[in-house]
Amino acid sequence: MVFKAQLFALTGVQPHRQKVMLKGAALKDETWDNFKPKVKNGATLLLMGSRDEDHLKAPDPAQKTKFIEDMDESELQTAMKMPAGLTNLGNTCYMNATVQCLKSVPEFREALVKYEGSSGSGGFDDGGLNHAMTSAMRDLYRSMEKQATVHPFLLLNTLHTAFPAFAQRGEQGGYQQQDANECWVQLLEMIRRQLKTTAAASNSENNGTSAGATASAGRSVVDQYFGLEFDTEIKCVEAPEEASTKGVEKVLQYNCYIDKEVKYLASGLKNYMNQPLTKRSPTLDRDAEYTKTSKVSRLPGYLTIQMMRFQFKMKDAINAKILKDIKFPMMLDTFELCTKELQDKLVPMRTKFKDHEDRIVEDCGKLKAKGGREAALKKSREDAEGEGVELEPYDFQDDPGSNNSGYYELQAILTHKGRSSNSGHYVGWVKHKADTWIECNDDDVRPVHVDDVMKLSGGGDWHTAYLLIYGPRKLPKQTAPVPVTATSEPTESAEKMETS
């Protein structure tokens, strides 16, 4: 549509009247797929369509056509419907990136926007500060829906009031850089205490079920959509006869531990499942080696993964960064991380996903669609993102906000550039649509391709993934045979993404 708008500026032919042809193929309004194999440098396109009377005059040659690369912030904002940028108020990129990534969770954002109560601290006790933080985030998100650039003064002041450590200043008098994950944890913890869900706001109502909605009323929205639960067991390695200790842990992040053997995200996640530790043994009456095993017993709708890239060095008194390249996938399957009980509960929805994909592949073969299986599946996932598409519930009926398949899709990344968590620069990267992502670098907001996002895995001083936010993979409801049309040949990057 941006391209057709540029043609309109040149010719006066309204986009809805344009028929753009190339070697017999007509350009669609929503995709370039059928053009990709044919578009090459120097290609000649045919435009057919009648101009409005107001545009019969030849375009003013002094007025140049603006392409995306030449648009200013407000023009790009309008053309791409991009999110608002946030002004850096002095080493506050850690907070800005956190806000942008959290905003990518629609249920969290909508619950915040609906939060009632006037702005302000309401006192400096814990309850007053929790309200102040929640209302400050609410007001910021509301402002971001109306403006291209927002100055987050209120949120920053509230953060400094609640956590004076974030207000520390350097030798030059400016604010010191802070750890984005610490900001993430503190913001969510305060909002968790204040922001409660209601039966009307639960995901079950939005995706076609109602069971469990009433039971979830009054529960924290943060726990509902971000809360992980682990079944744990601690056993003494040196005294096998000693009784093990079993328990349940509730957290908001899954930690990916990085060692010299870890090259992929899946390996780091498995490291969390078996951790060595040292503690006092009542049987041996001394410190002994123990092993702590963990299995996921509750998957949240939105899975936050922290890449454990920082280690505190006593000598330099800094959190030194592990720069190692750790590959992460666009599509994440967490089935192997779960308890046997949870795996059994995940099977029905996973079967629906498999049946859906089998139908697509079968129809793709009948139509002899170009691009093959992977291209057809990729297009199906993109279609599920469209407006008005009826989707299967992604959560369990008795646990709104959970994940009922174990399948996730990457939707936001918070990156760090530098050698220490208390220096360098933080940036948020948020999925926009299909292969388009948005780089939220404070008030500089611009579109990027998914290929650029997959390069954020580390290995040098470039932006490196620090927090990964995976959302639930969506499945369209099967009410009729799945329509599959011929698609273009997949790009090399798409093949790599599917392989991951």
Residue 332 · residue 262 · CB < 8 Å:
no
Number of domains in the chain: 2
For 118-127, how does the pLDDT look when each residue is reduced to its tens digit (9 = 90+)? 765 445 555 6
49/126 same-domain check:
no
How many CA atoms lie less than 13 Å away from 273 in the CB half-sphere?
A: 13
Token pair recorded at residue 28:
């669609």
Give the residue carrying structure tokens 């194999």: 37
Listed residues 15, 48, 65: the one ending a domain = 65
Cα–Cα distance, 20 to 114 (Å, whole number):
44
- Catalytic sites, residue numbers: 93, 425
434/495 same-domain check:
yes
Task: Determine the pLDDT at residue 75.
Answer: 61
For 338-347, how does the pLDDT look when each residue is reduced to its tens digit (9 = 90+)? 999 999 999 9
70/34 same-domain check:
no
* 119: Cβ contacts below 8 Å, ≥ 6 apart: 132, 135, 136, 139, 154
59/124 same-domain check:
no
234/350 same-domain check:
yes
**Domain around 343:** 66-500
211/339 same-domain check:
yes
49/157 same-domain check:
no
27/89 same-domain check:
no
Q: Domain holding 25: CATH number?
A: 3.10.20.90
Q: Domain holding 106: CATH number?
A: 3.90.70.10
375/421 same-domain check:
yes
Listed residues 65, 84, 100: the one ending a domain = 65
Listed residues 65, 87, 107: the one ending a domain = 65
261/390 same-domain check:
yes
Task: Determine the pLDDT at residue 201.
Answer: 43
Which residues of the chain register pLDDT less than 70?
A: 52-80, 119-127, 198-217, 313-314, 316-317, 365-377, 380, 382-384, 386-387, 479-500
Task: Determine the pLDDT at residue 369.
Answer: 52
405/257 same-domain check:
yes
110/33 same-domain check:
no
Residue 472 · residue 407 · CB < 8 Å:
yes
For 171-209, how does the pLDDT look when each residue is reduced to its tens digit (9 = 90+)? 888 899 999 999 999 999 999 999 987 644 444 444 444
